[in-house]
Amino acid sequence: MAVSKSSELSVRSQIYLKELKDLSLVLFPDHHHCRKLVNSYCEDQGFDLNPIIETSAMISLKRLVKNNIGGTVLPKPLSQTWDDGFYHIINLVEPTPKRDICIVYRSDKFLGQAGRMFISKVKEQFT
């Protein structure tokens, strides 16, 4: 979760998923993959998210969070790209939403150097 450095939540390093139901949130729309994932985890916990603003534009999310309109939920690799001079990242816990990613390739065929390097970089980024 990303919040403004001026948010009262900016002193926290983690937040329980169930706490999202009581927070002002700015989120991707329901059809976005990240939002679908978070929605399913929230539904499993017995509640629905009610964001104050939905937008599919990343720049809008960043500006809304920076101006302390609300917090947002982002995939960890994406949140790591946000300038921490304006934002504070809080880990979602109990449960932590996660998704498995896979790389599919034919093991019976030659895998070139570029393919091996790509797999190596993906593993490095997501593990």
pLDDT tens figures, 87-124:
999 999 999 998 888 888 888 999 999 999 999 998 88
Q: What is the pLDDT of residues 14-45, one digit of tens each?
A: 999 999 999 999 999 999 999 999 999 999 99
Question: Is the peptide bond preceding residue 29 cis, with omega within 30 degrees of 0?
Answer: no
- Virtual torsion, Cα 79, 80, 82, 84, nearest 10 deg: 120
Position 40 scores a pLDDT of: 96
Report the chain's terminal Cα–Cα distance, integer Å: 19
Name the H helices within 3-126: 33-44, 58-66, 76-79, 113-126
- The answer to whether the CB of 7 falls within 8 A of the CB of 68 is yes
Q: Is the pLDDT of residue 7 over 80?
A: yes
Residues 6 or more apart whose Cβ sits within 8 Å of residue 112? none
% residues pLDDT > 90 (the chain):
77
What is d(CA 72, CA 64) in angstroms, rounded to the nearest whole number?
Answer: 9
What is the number of H-type helices and E-type strands within the chain? 4, 6
CA atoms within 13 A on the CB side of 79: 19
